[in-house]
Amino acid sequence: MKQISILFFTLLLLGACVKAPTQTDNFVKIVDGRFSINDKPYYYIGTNFWYAAILGSQGQGGNRERLLKELDFMKANGITNLRVLVGADGIDGIMTKAEPALQTAPGVYNDTIFDGLDFFLSELGKRGMHAVLFLNNSWEWSGGYSQYLYWSGHGEVPMPKVAGWNAFSNYVAQYAKSEKAHKLFENHVRQVVSRVNRYTKLKFSDDPAIMAWQIGNEPRPFGEENKESFAKWIAECAALIKSIDPNHLISVGSEGMAGCEGDLGLWVKLHQDINIDYSTIHKLHLLPGRKPEYCSCHQDTQP
């Protein structure tokens, strides 16, 4: 009897020393320069699905029946990784701008859209699919740079469809050096990344359905003189996200050469940051006398 008791105690002790499986084992990781889940290679076909939070909502633009059908259709056809806008910024009713917006004023949120994002992520997890969630945007169609500049006192936004491309690009060029705009975006990042999903009861930071956070959609410095400030801002954003959420990958969302004023050295610098986990290229670049080397897609390259 004494020997049995000793054996039982030994087994309990050994059991306590064995690492129990954790939820973080299901996260997409980088292993030896490749995507991996549970120590197995992770391959996928992905697509942009920017409107997922709106479609998943129960308000304007929402249609959950359609969302579920689209997710099932993509899964059945091998598309398992979706690149999604967290939410638009600013008031509704602006020409060429997505609506309804998530962040209607600095730190003020349309809960209907947050609910749609929660629902979308819960359904994504049920299907074993993943999302890349982008948080900002160079372009006017979801607010982003221009909206943060407007909120921080830089004047009215010259919408490119009305005022022209030059007026718009000169306006958003102020973003790289605007500490006020950066602070507003920082607050937004904290709000989103630390959110708890009302359907799964998981913090976003603990949700394996999220593959990665992407700082922005095609973030640009908008000017040679802004490169240093731009790189600094990207590094600060990545460090902030990683400090809140060490579980998920982080990417820039860069187009590549077009997003770095034609400077591939800047692109390399951005992606060498310790908190940037993989690189992105959005545009097809043709080198003189050579065949195409990059495909037009998102989150397609490894570190």
Q: Give just the sign of the alpha carbon dihedral 15, 17, 22, 25.
A: negative
Tell me the Ramachandran region of residue 77: left when phi exceeds 0, alpha when psi lies from -120 to 50, beta otherwise. Answer: alpha
Sign of CA dihedral 86, 90, 91, 95: negative
pLDDT tier, 288 (very low <50, low <70, confident <90, very high otherwise)? low
Phi, psi of 180 (to 5 degrees): -65, -45
- Give the span between the Cα atoms of 176 and 230, in whole angstroms: 5
Place 283 in a pLDDT band, splitting at 50, 70 and 90.
Answer: low
How many Å separate Cα 69 from the centre of its chain?
23
Residue 40 has pLDDT above 50, yes or no: yes
240 pLDDT exceeds 60? yes
Predicted confidence band at 84 (pLDDT cuts at 50, 70, 90)?
Answer: very high
pLDDT band at 210 (very low <50, low <70, confident <90, very high): very high
Which residues have C-beta within 8 Å of that of residue 42, sequence separation ≥ 6? 28, 34, 35, 36
Q: Does residue 24 have a pLDDT over 90? A: no
Mean pLDDT, to the nearest integer, of 268-297?
A: 71
Rounded to the nearest integer, the mean pLDDT of the chain is: 88
Find out whether 283 and 256 touch, Cβ atoms under 8 Å.
yes
pLDDT, mean of residues 34-42? 96
Tokens representing 43?
């391959």
Six-digit token string for 167: 């007026």
d(CA 269, CA 57): 38
Per residue in 149-163, pLDDT (tens digit) is: 999 999 999 999 999
Average pLDDT for 91-102 = 94
The pLDDT score that the predictor gives to residue 16 is 34
pTM for this entry: 0.86
Between these two residues, 9 and 246, which has the higher pLDDT value? 246
Per-residue pLDDT, 88: 98
What is the share, in percent, of the chain residues with pLDDT greater than 70? 85
**Model pLDDT, residue 95:** 86
The mean per-residue pLDDT over the stretch 250-263 comes to 94
Which range has the worst mean pLDDT, 71-85, 168-182, 282-296?
282-296
**Of the listed ranges 38-42, 233-237, 272-276, 279-283, the one predicted with least confidence:** 279-283
78-82, 91-95, 122-126, 238-242: the lowest-pLDDT one? 91-95
